[in-house]
């Protein structure tokens, strides 16, 4: 199975900060990575597919990059509605696997 390591597990940031979250896969997964945002008590929401393709309706301050084993999610300027938990997922082949999540909190 492909392991996905996500870090940091939590971070504190201020409004307007640039935030970067990283995921590392245990083997080459090409660009088969998705990113999700989850707010407390709510279902996750899809942000990015294919490592860097923004889903419809997702603000342009979100971006994704990477290929192979190393991937990043960047929020260019943190907004109040961005405080949430973020997850990466590899879908290169089953079993699909998620990173452990990154909780983004207010500093």
| CA distance to 26, 60, 78, 83, 93, per residue, from 30 (Å) | 12, 23, 28, 29, 11
Cα distance between the two ends of the chain: 36
Identify which of residues 76 and 101 has a Cβ nearer to other proteins in the complex: 101
Give min distance, CB of 15 to other proteins, in A: 26
Tell whether residue 69 is a contact of other proteins (CB under 8 A).
Answer: no
- CB-based contacts of 41: which residues, under 8 Å, 6+ apart? none
Of residues 59, 100, 105, 106, which one binds other proteins by CB under 8 A?
100
Binding site for other proteins (CB under 8 A): 1, 32-34, 36, 38, 43-46, 49-50, 53, 55, 87, 89, 91, 94-101
């Amino acid at each position: 199975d492909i392991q996905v390591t996500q870090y940091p597990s939590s971070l504190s940031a201020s409004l307007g900060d640039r935030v970067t979250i990283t995921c590392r896969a245990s083997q080459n997964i090409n660009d088969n990575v998705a990113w999700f945002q989850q707010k407390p008590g709510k279902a996750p929401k899809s942000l990015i597919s294919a490592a860097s393709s923004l889903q419809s309706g997702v603000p342009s301050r979100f971006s994704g990059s990477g290929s192979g084993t190393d991937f990043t999610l960047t929020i260019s300027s943190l907004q109040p509605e961005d405080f949430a938990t973020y997850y990466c997922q590899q879908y290169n082949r089953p079993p699909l696997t998620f990173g452990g999540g990154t909780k983004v909190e207010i500093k």
